[in-house]
Chain A
Amino acid sequence: MANTPYNEQKNVDEKKFIEILGDTVSGNQLIISIILSVAASFLGYQLGQWVFPKFADPQMINSYSLLTGIAGILIVVVINTILFKPKRILVEDETSSHSLKEAFEDLQIDIDEEIRLIEEDPVTKKELEDFGILSSLQGLKGADKK
């Protein structure tokens, strides 16, 4: 194929995403974020080790340095959040009566049976009524047979 070299080129390109802890990230951006974060925690900690001995209780120097380290990390979290946008696609679902019917089919639930079981149980019926869902369910009655 003529375009194979081009495709291979693309594979190492940053167009590809990497999945870390269940979410997609850009490899290069991740490396930069980690370097920034580690550097900030190190600098923050060293700053604490340098500043606090001048006035703080010697026992507390390490604890206070941890705090300056965290401050460094948090600053970098803000910077990273501004620099690197999330690699996610967000789709806002709409539920309609049509998709509800489809959902029942996908889940292999018998609609009439389901409605019967709900109507038999006053607690559940009342609950669905309060949620405003009962009417759209009842609208589907007999939809299986069509």
Chain B
Amino acid sequence: MSIYLIALLFALLGAAIFTVIGLISGTDETAIMVPITLLVILLGAPPEGVFAFFMAGVLAKHLTHAVPTALLGIPGDTTAVPLIDHANTLRRLGMPHVALRKMISGGVIGAFIALPTAVLLGQFLGQFADFFKSSSGIIFTLAAILIAFFSKGKWASLLIIIPFAFFIKALDSVSFAMLDKHLSITFFLGIAIGPMFCNILMAASPVAKNDLTRSKQNQYNLAPETKSWKGYFPNPFKILSKRQTIFTSITTFLSSLTFVFSPVGMTSLMGEIVGSRTKGAYKKSTTSLTVMNGVTESTYIAEAIIPLIAFGIPLSPVALGPASPLFNAPPIFTVDPVNNLHTLMSSWDFFIFGLIGISVAALIAYPFAMNYARKASVLVLKYISQEAIVAMFIGLAFLLAYNEAQLLGVVLTFTVATVGGLLNRILGVGAGVQFMVFYASSWIMLQLFGI
């Protein structure tokens, strides 16, 4: 079978899985992307297939997570948080479907602008790759400090860098003594599912439980939908006004270049810049939503692709979170030495297989979200329980950890999840900081203690 056909099939698979997952609101980006992408890699998918799968998954998920954001007024996941105010304005005005259509049309445009931009920038930065690779230890440490300072935990995040590096290194030494090999999937699975696991632990403790107990069920107000255009496949350029298309194109191009900032931060910034130049509540909300969703998409894609092409080491918030398996999924992909998509694919491959991925996602998720948004969210809200979803992800984490190091892997993953999750939930030390410290830990410990 030709590699293009294989990539196409993986893209279809990614788009199908994540179109459904995107509808489930409140899902944590990293906790979901990491285990599923890891599975595809460990099952032996070729690098091109993995990349097409990931790109299709990312876009499909972002397109359908606009559904709960617009229709229910709850963020589809953390990247949708900055959009919630504008989405709520339109929802209150009885136009949630307008919000939805603007958002996802912006997202599609953002994706197709970001891909070529990111590939070109990645290739350009590639000439500095040797410098980055040879001094990755200190770069990871500096990046950890930077990300820590800008995380929710701020000073707390900075203070725990060394203790957390020590914690990681200690676990690594113990597991190395037992297995004679270094583990890594177990570590970052732990970091990824930490916040979810922490909630479960808190619920199991009578002391901590109070924060999480609710006397009532969550209520969701689902807005009505008015079908206003004919045909199955809408043209995104017709959904947007010319002004919105231009603004989206400019902002998504710019945000594709800023791959070291967090997507949420870029989204808020660009939305604010464009929104403040637009008068009238309706126009302001629709234009902001279009631009913001476009920017989320482009930052996300650029942050995954640029470090992959240029360095092969994860040097952006997305590369450290949801895209981390593309860099590091031993024994198949490794960061030290660099043996991952960076070495296995050319820039041209990234463009072609990325294009296959986002095209498939656009063809599946875009018309789906445009046509069946309301029906699909009713189905999910009425029939799929949160218990089943949380249990599924814990089961997946268990499976992957067991596969890497049997019982030790499972214990290790849940140890990291406990510590990382509590740091995340209580002190605001985000998963990005923890991933960065994980990569920096060897260098930090070497400098401090010579081991």
Contact = CB atoms under 8 A, between A and B. Distances in A.
A86 B385 contact: yes
A117 B384 CA distance: 43
Contacts of B215: 16-17
Contacts of B395: 34, 37-38, 40-41, 72-73, 76
Contacts of B403: 45, 62, 65-66, 69
Nearest to A48: B403
B386 A23 contact: yes
B94 A21 contact: no
A107 B399 contact: no
Contacts of A51: none
B26 A21 contact: yes
B92 A107 contact: yes
Contacts of B394: 34, 37-38
Contact of A18 (B89, B203, B229, B389): B203
A80 B381 contact: no
Interface stretch (B131-139, B219-227, B437-445): B219-227
B387 A84 contact: yes
Interface string B23-62: 0011110000000000100111000000000000000000
Contacts of A113: 280
B390 A90 contact: no
Given A73-B396, A103-B92, A80 B283 contact: no
Nearest to A16: B213
A91 B402 CA distance: 42
Contact of B214 (A17, A40, A70): A17
A89 to B, nearest CB: 4
Nearest to A116: B280
Nearest to B196: A21
A70 B43 CA distance: 11
B232 interface: no
Contacts of A63: 42-44
B399 to A, nearest CB: 4
Name the prevailing secondary structure of the A interface residues.
helix
B387 A33 contact: yes
A81 B44 CA distance: 30
Nearest to B95: A133
Given A18-B209, A19-B212, A21-B27, A37 B392 contact: yes
Given A21-B196, A86-B384, A121 B283 contact: yes
A25 B220 CA distance: 14
B98 interface: yes
Given A20-B200, A29-B387, A90-B382, A132 B212 contact: no
Interface string B366-406: 00000000000010011111111111101110111011000
Nearest to A27: B203
Nearest to A68: B399
B71 to A, nearest CB: 10
**Chain A: interface residue count, which band?**
35 or more
B279 interface: yes
B276 interface: no
B378 A90 contact: yes
A58 to B, nearest CB: 13
Contacts of A36: 391
B392 A77 contact: yes
Contacts of A16: 213-215
A118 B283 contact: yes
30 contacts: A16-B213, A17-B218, A19-B213, A20-B386, A24-B218, A25-B385, A33-B387, A34-B390, A38-B398, A40-B395, A42-B402, A62-B403, A63-B43, A76-B395, A81-B384, A86-B385, A87-B218, A89-B218, A90-B378, A91-B220, A91-B222, A93-B224, A94-B224, A99-B94, A103-B93, A107-B93, A117-B280, A123-B241, A124-B283, A132-B228
In the A-B complex, the 10 residue pairs with the smallest Cβ-Cβ separation, listed nearest first, are A22-B26, A95-B94, A37-B395, A117-B280, A33-B391, A80-B388, A37-B391, A103-B92, A23-B386, A41-B399
Interface of B: 25-28, 39, 42-44, 74, 89, 92-95, 98, 196, 199-200, 203-204, 206, 209, 212-224, 226, 228-229, 241-243, 279-283, 378, 381-392, 394-396, 398-400, 402-403
Given A41-B399, A72-B395, A91-B222, 19 more contacts: A24-B214, A24-B218, A25-B385, A26-B387, A30-B200, A30-B391, A33-B387, A73-B395, A73-B399, A76-B395, A80-B388, A86-B385, A88-B219, A90-B381, A103-B92, A121-B283, A127-B241, A130-B228, A133-B95
